Chains A and B, each alone.
Chain A
Amino acid sequence: MNTRTPGQRLLIALPYLWLLVLFLAPFLIVLKISLSDLAVSRPPYTPQIDLSEGWAGLKDFFANLDFENYIFLAEDSLYINAYLSSLKIAAVSTFITLLIGYAIAYALARAPRRWRPTLVMLVILPFWTSFLIRVYAWIGILKTEGLLNQALLSIGLIAEPLQIMNTTTAVYIGIVYSYLPFMILPIYATLEKMDESLLEAAADLGSSRFAAFFLVTLPLSLPGIIAGCFLVFIPAIGEFVIPDLLGGSDTLMIGKTLWVEFFNNRDWPLASAVATLLLLLLIVPIVLFQRQQMKQEIGG
């Protein structure tokens, strides 16, 4: 394609430049500020690039950058624990979401063809309504005097109200609930495309329905499973709203730590260092996710 007209170039350049300036460049700024020091000034960090001093100013700027914030992060166990516990919470909730999501996606793909568009629509609809509102809805249910406890007490299943609200359990429920459509849809997409005659062939060759599922259906739906797991796992690691509203003081998650450093402690350099480390943690899964998406696009 060497015959690209100036118009076509502009077509590519416009979104490209937008993303370079508003998506990529900001990360470099985060990196720079994470190497700066906290200061009582506006903005609250030093050093600043002072271009009026020319080369000397620039040299001064680089000389004043250091890894102090990262050393602090490494030494304080709070941050390491927050990273590890975010990873754990994200991994466990991705697994639970996969189990529930697969069952629903499987049922959707097996539903009579004329029901399917409506059923898929019903799965997507909650995803369109506000995330914040859906998390908020669980507060009234999970509270100590909430509806779940009232219901369980009235049927006599429990004698004392359960403490679910402000625990990590509530965070799991919140993540599974909020991210479920992201798991169902990619799995449904692969299951729906599957050739039914493969299952008949497996049955003809003596395979039980159970074995056919594990030997045929499951491997064929693997691309959907992978896509779904990425879509849940990566954002869940940095989740802020769910641990903040449903979790308790013992629920450590890195997204919340970053928020607190930034808004409550107003330590911008430290918040930037947390963000940089979080990003490093996520780069591998994000690149794998992008590869997989590109492969789907070209192959599918």
Chain B
Amino acid sequence: MIAEVPLSARGVRVRFGEREVLAGVDIDVRSGEWVSLLGRNGSGKTTLLRVLAGLLRPDQGAVLLGGDPMAGLGRREVARRLALLPQSAPVVAGLTVRQFVRQGRYAARGPLGMLADTDDPHVREALRATGVDEWADSPLDRLSGGQRQRVRLALALAQDAPVLLLDEPTTFLDLRHQVEVLELVRALQHERGLTVVSVLHDLAQAARYTDRVVALRDGVVHADGEPGDIVDSQFLRAVYGVSGEVLQITTNGLLKTIVVPD
């Protein structure tokens, strides 16, 4: 099932008490593209991602997943169409990497199917694609932060869903592991034709890796477009409230963005 627009939001409003965090957001994520959600803290980007993932029900509006209203889909059906890598998770003791990644097959196999401890090609493939197969039988709690993030990505991939949502996937990682994770996601996007939506804090990384940026301000979409077209000093001021220069250079067809605050 690959719809032209696998994921979209229509007039989404979310209110936390008095504060309206999302005040009518429309977004269409096209098949095979990587969209990054940008904005300052409190702009509503993480809330939007949680709404798109179905973790949070909007007070108004709807999320369409593969053309169907998400509210009408069962949780397992949602999981077959969409996988999420949440920002932080408890460290799970007593599980090996393979046992952990295997849990991603719950939606496809059902609770009784999970009882049979059979070899699953999707688990093997997810371990291979993220390069964690050499630690497959190691306990998860022995891995480093960077390794663990790859394993968590493998868990999401094992769901074999066409849409992948990432909530700040590079937080808590050093620069090398940040680049590693972003490169990995891009490779998966191209190899598997995945549609990716991520919340990213680093403007330069968002511009470098993602096809499209959607900037939120005060709960609405402030700017939406290709990073080369819209990320400039005006964008910096409007979205982050920072005055400074944005330099963009293209080498070997790759767009590189340098942000220099005044």
Chains A and B come from one and the same complex: no
A residues lining the B interface (CB < 8 Å): none
